[in-house]
Amino acid sequence: MSRAESQAQTRAAILDAAAQVFAERGFVGASVEAITEAAGYSRGAFYSNFQSKEQLFAELLQARVYARYREMAAPQPGKKPPVSLRELGEQLAAIQADTGSRWLFQLWLELLAHAGRDPDFLKLAADFWRGTREMGAAGLAQAYEAAGTVPPIPVREIASAMIALDIGLALQHFVDPDGAPLAQYPRLYETLFSPLAPKPASRRRRAQTD
């Protein structure tokens, strides 16, 4: 095994161990010592791969959550524009329904609770949402270009509104699943964002003349 392969294996093992320890103890209760012990490595191995516990969690978000949003939102060369609004709502609902990653959402809430007091937590949240917003905006721009139309407002603002709906529904479902069922996702995304959705130029001209 090369040095690069060995380091990648160590990094992956620490990430897997961190996921387990974070799920059991929460972010504040999870120490570097507990993570390295669960991974079977030393503190030196931890700090040769990660600068801090915050950076480690940021990478966990990237690997376990952000990647799923990237697959949904990021434009893919040679592929069709993003899915329909209803399909987007269904995919977002599926993320919330995934019990295997529910601990990440709970941990995310824990981090947000500390964001007002700790700049590291604040930066972590800002970086995550900034990346998600930029991906969503890029996907929307691709959809408008494919339709040959111009967005009525900046695509970054549409992406921000979609994130706001996703987070709002996720929070409501978390505390009151019966009052805010996941079935709302596709209906609300389709109903609320249809007026902003890109429509082919030919369809738009027909609508204007009707």
Cα–Cα distance, 27 to 124 (Å, whole number): 13
Domain ranges across the chain: 1-50, 53-209
* Phi, psi dihedrals of residue 180, rounded to the nearest 5°: -135, 70
**What's the angle, vertex CA 186, arms to CA 184 and CA 191, rounded to 5?**
90
Pick 53-209's CATH classification: 1.20.1740, 1.10.357, 1.10.287, 3.90.550. Answer: 1.10.357
Confidence at 202, pLDDT banded by 50, 70, 90: low
Q: Could you tell me the pTM of the whole model?
A: 0.76
> Which fold does the domain 1-50 belong to in CATH?
Arc Repressor Mutant, subunit A (1.10.10)
Amino acid at 181: P
pLDDT digits (tens, 9 = 90+) for 21-70: 988 888 888 999 999 999 999 999 999 999 988 888 888 877 776 666 66
pLDDT digits (tens, 9 = 90+) for 129-160: 888 899 889 888 988 988 899 999 999 999 99
